[in-house]
Amino acid sequence: MLRLSPLALLLFAAAAPAQTYSHGPPGGLRPAVYDPVELVVTVKNPKANTNPFADFDLVATFTRNNGKPVAVRGFCDAADGSVYKVRFLPTVPGEYEYKLTTGGAASNESVWQSTVTVEAKKNARGPVRIDTDHPHHFVWAGTGEHYFWNGTTTYWLLGVQDDKRIEAAIDRLAKLKVNRIRVALNARTTDGNRWFEPQVTNSTDFQFRIDPWVANNPDSVEDPQFDTSRFNVAMWQKLDKLVAHARKKDVIVSIIFHLDGPDKGVDPFNGGKRKGEGYTDYKAEEAYYRYGVARLAAYSNVMWDVTNEWHLFRDEKWVNHFGDLIRQADPGGHLMSVHGRGDFPFYKSAWADFAMYQVWDDAGAYPFLRKARTLAEKAGRPMPHINEEYGYEDHYPGPWGGGKKKPARSADTRRRLAWQMSMAGGYQTTGERADEPGQGGWITGLGNDRMTMLDGYARMVDFFTAFDWWKLDPTDGLADNGGRVLAVKNKRYVVYAPTGDKVRVKVPAGAWRVRAYNPRTGEWGKKADETADDSGLVLRFADAEDWAAVIERE
């Protein structure tokens, strides 16, 4: 986050409360494109008997080169109403004129006007967008590089008490080529028994309580007595640090507004019940979403997850309402979806940029994502498809675990499923085991060198990013022995052979160059010239484990 020091100071002593305004980067330096720009209003002697989160209006309008104005809402950043901020994400370099306006019952109505110059920055990646030419895939807006989604779950990362430990967790995941993490803003439970992971417990280092609002009874899991009109600024400031550090590592943070909403104490708006059971007033919940977007939309590395498990405590109307709200409130246009189950009824919703599913184990692999991609195309809305949750490493929750027993969800089976999803032209989000002492894996986001599952995923990233994977389409019926194929016909064929020491691929007859890849070690074989006959080309591998290969015209 670019913290702006004073360039101008305007003090209105005649009226109470007095307001000061500041803007400008430290040391005379200028912000760069995709850096958050922050304007600050400080209130001296805030008015008593007002709610600073509701009774103070702050809006800035930014205009570049007499272009279209962009309005950005501000937010309160102090429980006593002494500090307010506006954050803006510049996507193009140049000089921006802006007008900052305050108003409301807790405000002295004021207007400031000034300019901020945004410099160009080489290799600034910016937000992730949809590739308009290949809409099943993603690109970095700033550089045009393609983004190979490799996500992992870190639901309770905000429950880690030490900010340095949070940063270390992000550093470790980035080193393992994870480029997206899932982080919950609102969640609470007693301990890991909630998911049949009893070894993950509350301690001085970690708490199973994430409070976005002020709680009158914060130590209670089931009855925190949230005041949803007042935000817990300390938690949000902690989140700012988390997102800012992830940005340094080019890690996208998926912002999950609710986690396990049906659990007692989590949903202060409708007690975890579905909207059809009486939830009709969205107003308080809208304030929560607007506050989150106002704080975070200036960070280039966020995505929005409207909620987790929407189908368990909300309905489609609610999802569409809050998806539309986020889209309207976010001037940065960050990507958005919602986490649910095995269907995605939002293909035609304008706010939905990509589809997310939760389908465990083999049921969520190649055939599932292949079908999902086809359904979206038939709906006239091709988009990326992600199996967001398909059974975490060594995680066997009884009632909803599908009866799987160890080692059914080993690191190796998770990796093989990830390959299948990639070969379907989709993406995945995984989760590390939670049983390593003192860590917590998919629950906390913490891990160590003894947890090696993500090494296999990093090797998968290396394979696909070695060529233009986004140009290839999943093509059925071209390989035997369970082989999966991505193809640019008559030019390049990418093959994944789940088992067996050979696979026949139906490529056109003629000369081809073949290179094998070992997904278990990350080793490439030597390039070999092969000739296909009318029946195709037979690939022979060193053993009966899984293998991949790239077949290209010479």
pLDDT in tens, 50-89: 999 999 999 999 999 989 999 999 999 999 999 999 999 9
| CB within 8 Å of 50: residues ≥ 6 apart | 56, 81, 105, 106
User: Which class does domain 18-118 fall in?
Assistant: mainly beta
For 393-453, the DSSP string reads: TT---TTTSTT--TTTT-HHHHHHHHHHHHHTT-EEEE---S-STT--TTTTS---TT--H
The pLDDT assigned to 275 comes to: 64
Sign for the CA dihedral angle at 211, 213, 219, 224 comes to negative
* CA end-to-end distance (rounded Å), the chain: 48
Q: How many angstroms separate the CA atoms of 313 and 272, rounded?
A: 6
Both tokens assigned to 495: 């093959």
Place of tokens 């379907």: 424
508 — alpha (psi -120 to 50), left (phi > 0) or beta? Answer: beta
What is the spatial distance between Cα 313 and Cα 336, in angstroms, rounded to a whole number?
19
| Residue for token pair 């002494």 | 82
What pLDDT, on a 0 to 100 scale, did the predictor assign at position 25? 47
Is the bond into 407 cis (omega within 30 degrees of 0)? yes
Helix intervals (H) in 155-232: 163-175
Distance CA 194, CA 205 (A): 19
One-letter amino acid at 519 equals P
pLDDT score, position 9: 28
Give 128-470's CATH code, choosing from 3.40.50.1370, 3.90.1150.10, 2.60.40.420, 3.20.20.80: 3.20.20.80
CATH 2.60.120 at 472-553, yes or no: yes
Residues 6+ apart with CB under 8 A from 238: 158, 163
In the prediction, which pLDDT does 106 show?
86
Q: Which residues of 147-160 are buried (b: 16+ CB within 10 A; e: fewer)?
A: bbbbbbbbbbbbbb
In the chain, where the domains are located: 18-118, 128-470, 472-553
DSSP tally for the chain: helices H, then strands E: 8, 32
Residues 224 and 217: beta-carbon distance below 8 Å = yes
Q: What is the pLDDT of residues 323-349, one digit of tens each?
A: 999 999 999 999 999 999 999 999 999
CA distances 244 to 26, 237, 252, 295, 337, Å, are 18, 11, 10, 12, 22
Give the Cβ contact number of residue 115 at 10 Å. Answer: 13
Contact yes or no for 540/502 (Cβ under 8 A): yes
Residue with tokens 């309008």: 61
**Which residues of the chain carry a pLDDT beneath 50?**
1-16, 25-28
Q: For position 547, what pLDDT does the model report?
A: 98
CA–CA separation, 428 and 150 (whole Å): 7
Give the three-state DSSP class for 511. Answer: strand
H-helix or E-strand containing 65? Answer: none
Number of Cα atoms under 13 Å in the Cβ half of residue 491: 9
Tell which residue, 489, 490, 494, 491, has the closest CA to residue 465: 494
Distant-in-sequence, close-in-space partners of 399: CB < 8 Å, separation ≥ 6? none
Q: How many Å apart are CA 386 and CA 275, to the nearest integer? A: 27
Token pair of 110 as six digits:
């004021």
Q: Which residue has the tokens 């949230």?
A: 226
Q: Helix 233-248 crosses helix 283-296 at what angle (to 10 degrees)?
A: 40
Instruction: Say how far apart CA 461 and CA 65 lie, in whole Å.
Output: 41
pLDDT at 500: 80
Specify the pairing of strand 355-358 against strand 385-389.
parallel
Nearest 5°: CA angle at 296, between 160 and 338?
A: 80
Who contacts 456 (Cβ-Cβ below 8 Å, separation ≥6)? 411, 412, 415, 519, 520
Report which DSSP code applies to 319: H
Give the number of residues written for the chain. Answer: 554
Cα three-residue angle 422-423-427, rounded to 5 degrees:
20
- Name every residue whose Cβ is closer than 8 Å to that of residue 467 and which is 6 or more positions away in sequence: 492, 494, 550
532 near 512, Cβ under 8 Å?
yes
pLDDT (0 to 100) of residue 29: 65
| CB neighbourhood size of 353 (10 A) | 22
Q: Please tell me the distance from the alpha carbon of residue 347 to that of residue 351, in angstroms, as a whole number.
A: 9
How high is the pLDDT of residue 12? 27
- For residue 508, how far is the Cα from the chain centroid? 40
